[in-house]
Amino acid sequence: MIWNETKECMSRDEMEFLQSKRLVKTVDRVYHNVEFYRKKMQQVGIEPGDIKGIEDLHKLPYTTKNDLRDTYPFGLFAAPKSEIVRVHASSGTTGKATVVGYTRRDLDIWSECVARALTQAGVSRDDIIQVAYGYGLFTGGLGAHGGAEKLGAIVVPMSTGNTKKLTTMMIDFGVTAIACTPSYLLHIAEVLEESGSIPEIKLKAAVCGAEPWTENMRKQIEEKLHIHAFDIYGLSEVMGPGVACDCEYHKGLHVYEDHFLPEIIDPETLKPLPKGETGELVFTTLTKEGLPLLRYRTKDLTNIDYSPCECGRTLARISRFKGRSDDMLIIRGVNVFPSQVEAALLELGGTTPHYMMIVDRKNNLDTLEIQVEVDESFFSDEIRGLENLTKKVAHAIQNAIGLAAKIKLVEPKTLERSMGKAVHVIDKRKLV
């Protein structure tokens, strides 16, 4: 069993001592290996020697997704290419993806963190785990896979896409745990219900994340499948799944603070907020070699509870997310920025940059319709031209966001204009 008592049950003083030691090393590493950080630190007159511990964290510069875009693809890597053994990528705000890199040691620590999360969910080497997050550039599949292997469980690398095959194997193999997005698990539950197969499954736990979900959804999953469902959090830039996960008490997600130092800041003033207040979650990585990040702004809104948990862990807990401080949407587990849609439309002829994304959930699966205003000149053309344009827009948007959307072309000036900030999204899912 992976129950790292030395790290997970440390006193706050011991944890802060360890974090300070690791922070000093991380700052030294980025200062000497990453030009971006050296310049940023020099701009504010800081040298590595000025950072003596976590009490000096506030002196360090923030990092954002845009910094990763501006240094695309490998500009923030702090290890030579010969030491990088894997890359993953997630959506950028426009055009280029955000690329992240891992050394062998980074992958080992990542697996350890996911294994801790699985242990919190009661999963052990005696289990059979279906990993039904997407495999590939997305960190979900390979991240969960690495942790399950580290635990010594039997891993079934299902990925996403073939629910019938997944449910058949779940029954035939006697699968006892699953890792996938919560919305996909609700869909799986529905498929099992429709075929009357729930009594045939051996499932006992699920580790769900990668998208916002409610306590109500967690309970629905538990009731439908007669299992325990756990909330796992992570983001590609910081590592992938396994930055935090809740335990059987479901009173917040334990952050693996020995590797990821959390802070809560006010997203407007960028000032750290007092303990317990809700704001934007920021992480400084403490052990990463490939892509260490100083004060990475996750844009996820939450608060941190530093009191020890009933489970015995002393690791700080973040509460279920209360939304984001930017406009990123997560649709079928894929991160989507409205600005990606806008950039794709601007590249195409025949449309205007006026669009509305309507996100909904049907049969527990997300749907996306995008209404796009057509150019005045184009709209007078015959209907055949419109059909072609619909296909062209659908193709361009799928390329840009990595998701198929239903495209509806609408007449010029039909979408409501906003007096203030343009509104481009109607999200009917009510996830927070």
Look at residue 315 and give its three-state secondary structure.
coil
Alpha-carbon radius of gyration of the chain: 23
| 158 backbone dihedrals φ, ψ, rounded to 5° | -65, -40
Question: Residue 273 CB, nearest distance to ligand DLL (Å)?
Answer: 18
24 vs 401 by CB, closer to ligand DLL: 401
110 counts as binding ligand DLL under rule CB under 6 A? no
Is the distance from CB of 311 to CB of 191 less than 8 angstroms? no
Question: Residue 24 CB, nearest distance to ligand DLL (Å)?
Answer: 27
Number of Cβ atoms within 10 Å of the Cβ of 289 = 21
Question: Residue 340 CB, nearest distance to ligand DLL (Å)?
Answer: 14
Is the distance from CB of 270 to CB of 292 less than 8 angstroms? no
130 counts as binding ligand DLL under rule CB under 6 A? no
Among 27, 170, 210, 368, binds ligand DLL (CB under 6 A): 210
- For residue 350, CA distances in Å to 140, 295, 381 come to 37, 42, 11
If we measure between CA atoms, which residue out of 144, 151, 163 comes closest to residue 127? 151
339 exposure class (CB count in 10 Å sphere: 0-12, 13-18, 19+): middle
In this chain, which stretch among 149-157, 190-198, 206-214, 352-360 interacts with ligand DLL, using CB under 6 A? 206-214
41 vs 129 by CB, closer to ligand DLL: 129
Question: Residue 73 CB, nearest distance to ligand DLL (Å)?
Answer: 16
**What is the DSSP-derived secondary structure letter of residue 367?**
E
300 counts as binding ligand DLL under rule CB under 6 A? yes
Site map (CB under 6 A) of ligand DLL, residues 250-279, x = contact: ------------------------------
112 counts as binding ligand DLL under rule CB under 6 A? no
229 counts as binding ligand DLL under rule CB under 6 A? no
233 counts as binding ligand DLL under rule CB under 6 A? yes
101 vs 209 by CB, closer to ligand DLL: 209
Distance CA 102, CA 379 (A): 50
- Point out which residues pair with 334 in neighbouring strands: 331
20 counts as binding ligand DLL under rule CB under 6 A? no
Structure tokens belonging to residue 319: 């509460």
Residues that bind ligand DLL in the complex, under the rule CB under 6 A = 90, 133, 139-140, 209-212, 231-236, 240-241, 298, 300, 321, 324, 330, 335
